[in-house]
Structure 1
Amino acid sequence: MEICELQRSETPMWVRRLMDRPDASRRWQVSGLRASSVERGAFSLTEIVLPNARAMSPDVFRGEVQRAYELALETLSACRASHAVRWWNFVPGINRDAGDGLDWYMVFNAGRHAAMQRRYGANEFGRQLATASGVGSHGDDFVVQVLGSTRPGQPLENPRQIPAYNYSESYGPLPPCFARATGLGHAEHDAMRGTLLIGGTASIVGEKTQHLGNIDGQMEETLRNMAHLLAAGCGAAAEDRVLRHIEEVRVYVVRQEDRAGIIDALAARMTGLKRMEVIHADLCRPCLLVEVEAVTGPGLLASMNQRGAAGQRLATA
């Protein structure tokens, strides 16, 4: 297994391999936003950078996040691979106090929610939202990246968790907008067909953080959540052995002293792992110590189209 330490906001290696030697690419700027888009086969990758976001007021940042998301969605819709299947967000100073009981992650969520509701409508979130990760950045820029596909993915929810878009106001006036995982079940996905993309997963049950201050407990709860997502996607029992289907993982570590133990725990339980990326980053809740995202090998969801009704039921639970 390869272990790679990353220092900046970049897409995972599996995405970079997927988009290697693109069919088309372009870069441009729009009213202070830096944008880029590449396309290759059944996929596209769009990135929007909002420079110097750390220096903005919360109100300005919220509006600029909405504008960045709207540009990302507009750019994506112009691609052949126009369906969002995976998002990454890097928020500078994600836990900073934004006043009125809010932090900067909540402000980010308000901007994202406004853009998503304008695009999809609040009643369509369960059918339209792709999975996502949202973590802190040590730099000054806000970065959003979205992987697009020629066909929509299948959003999946974890039966142990409340869908993020249904969170209570305890986690901000407007909730996060993402699915827990996205399945790629169409022939057009080629080498990625039957793959499950698991978004940022942490020690949360229902909507509440578990095992405060306990990295071992949070790691165990995170792995349990990942097992339930895998089980929901492939119709298996939510047992530890389903974790062997994960081939690529990215782990966000808050405390450097936890790094070695986290790596050991993932390697021991994910026996099919080929690559692990490790990033030191703050997370969306100050009480979280670790977050993991993952990709399974192809073919896991080969029969997902035949289970469409079950998958839809999970996505809207």
Structure 2
Amino acid sequence: MLGVAILGDGEAGFVPNGVPLARVATPVLAGPQAICEVWRAGGPVRAGARGRVRYRCSETMLFGAIELDERAMPAGMEGVSVLQRATAAVYREVFALLDEAGYPALFRAWNYFPAINAVADGSERYWQFNAGRQEAFGAGGRSTTGRVPAACALGSAHGPFTLYFIALREAPLAIENPRQVCAYHYPEQYGPRSPTFARASLALSQTPPVLFVSGTASIVGHKTLHPGDVVAQTAESFRNIAAVLAEARRADPAGSGLDSRDLAYKVYVRYPGDLGAVRACFREHVGDAVPVVFVQADVCRDDLLVEIEASGGHAMEDGR
């Protein structure tokens, strides 16, 4: 066992000592009160800690988790929000660990914090998060365009800023979507600092190759499509996932597990009342036989009603 993320507010089972754990207040919309997301490695693992980061690693892969309560941040510079400083601090700690431990390539990052769409300290909190993340990438010698990790950023119901992540010894391929502007090239109307993530990330160094599709929503070019229509947004999200998978197959023509029905999914729904419509649309696109969890979370733009992430190439168990 490399690491665990518990989604929801209930207990999801016993987590052994030494296993890094991320708790995320994204209420589960179908099934038990909490879902346990377990990441495993195929060989021996060792555990460690550096600062606030707890981690476990195999020969080729590292899973880590860190959280930071924004209220614990000291008073800072004028014009730099608490969330921006917290984000930068968390990512600086992560990059220091990865460089020290020898897993320099950030592969996939999951970011959660409350009130993602709220305006505070003069700007939207998601914009503040992007500024802090980009600052830390630059300070850590990482590119903020091109070879960037797969990622998502969602609004949790409550709790601290929480990041869990997977890193590799060998850099994965960043996969982009020809239907969309690269997120790191978004125009300034979406914030003064662009998001730092790729639409997907493909690790050819793993056997079989592992693919992470970032949080995907109803965006074409750089614009939100179908505002107010959750079914159309869900369908558009799947069209974007299909485009990303096509690009991944071009990068690895011999790869398997790069079809939409070979993936595991996490679906973030803004309004719980939309669950039935989203589930029906999900079933229409990928059927009933795939592992999926539906949770409530706020999406990074206030006009987006649903976001879908996916992964494949790893062992999958469905606990539904």
1:38 aligns with 2:59: no
What's the % identity of the aligned pairs?
A: 28
Partners of 2:267 and 2:182 lie apart in 1 by: 21
Alignment match, 1:293: 309
Deviation for aligned residue 1:285: 0.7
Q: Which protein is richer in helix relative to its size?
A: 1
Mapped contact 1:212–1:287 kept (Cα < 8 A): yes
Q: Which has the higher contact order (CA 8 A, sep 6+)?
A: 1
1:7 aligns with 2:8: yes
Deviation for aligned residue 1:18: 1.9
- Of 286, 297, 300, which aligns to 1:270? 286
Partners of 2:224 and 2:95 lie apart in 1 by: 31
- Of 39, 59, 69, which aligns to 1:51? 69
Mapped contact 1:84–1:149 kept (Cα < 8 A): yes
Count of residue correspondences: 279
Query: C-alpha offsets along residues 172-192 of structure 1, whole Å, 9 cap, x if unaligned?
Result: 111110000001112xx23xx
- Look up the equivalent residue of 2:229 and give its one-letter code: N
Partners of 2:201 and 2:211 lie apart in 1 by: 6
Partners of 1:294 and 1:54 lie apart in 2 by: 33
> Structure 1 residues 94, 54: CA separation in 2 closer, same or farther (over 3 Å shift)?
farther
> Structure 1 residues 13, 274: CA separation in 2 closer, same or farther (over 3 Å shift)?
farther
Mapped contact 1:53–1:92 kept (Cα < 8 A): no
RMSD: 2.9
Partners of 1:296 and 1:271 lie apart in 2 by: 16
- Of 164, 172, 182, which aligns to 1:163? 182
Structure 1 length as normaliser, TM-score?
Answer: 0.79
Alignment match, 1:310: none
> Structure 1 residues 222, 53: CA separation in 2 closer, same or farther (over 3 Å shift)?
farther
Deviation for aligned residue 1:14: 9.7
Deviation for aligned residue 1:13: 8.2
Mapped contact 2:68–2:90 kept (Cα < 8 A): yes
Partners of 2:146 and 2:276 lie apart in 1 by: 38
> Structure 1 residues 95, 225: CA separation in 2 closer, same or farther (over 3 Å shift)?
same
> Structure 1 residues 273, 249: CA separation in 2 closer, same or farther (over 3 Å shift)?
farther
Query: C-alpha offsets along residues 111-165 of structure 1, whole Å, 9 cap, x if unaligned?
Result: 00101122236xx433421110100011230011220112111001101111111
Runs of 4+ with >6 A deviation: 11-15, 54-58
Deviation for aligned residue 1:10: 4.7
In structure 2, the gaps of 5 or more residues are 1-5, 10-21, 25-33, 252-257, 315-320
In structure 1, the gaps of 5 or more residues are 237-241, 299-317
> Structure 1 residues 272, 75: CA separation in 2 closer, same or farther (over 3 Å shift)?
farther
Alignment match, 2:140: 119
- Look up the equivalent residue of 1:253 and give its one-letter code: V
Deviation for aligned residue 1:19: 4.6
Alignment match, 1:216: 231
Q: Secondary structure in 2 aligned to 1:252? A: strand
Mapped contact 2:150–2:212 kept (Cα < 8 A): yes
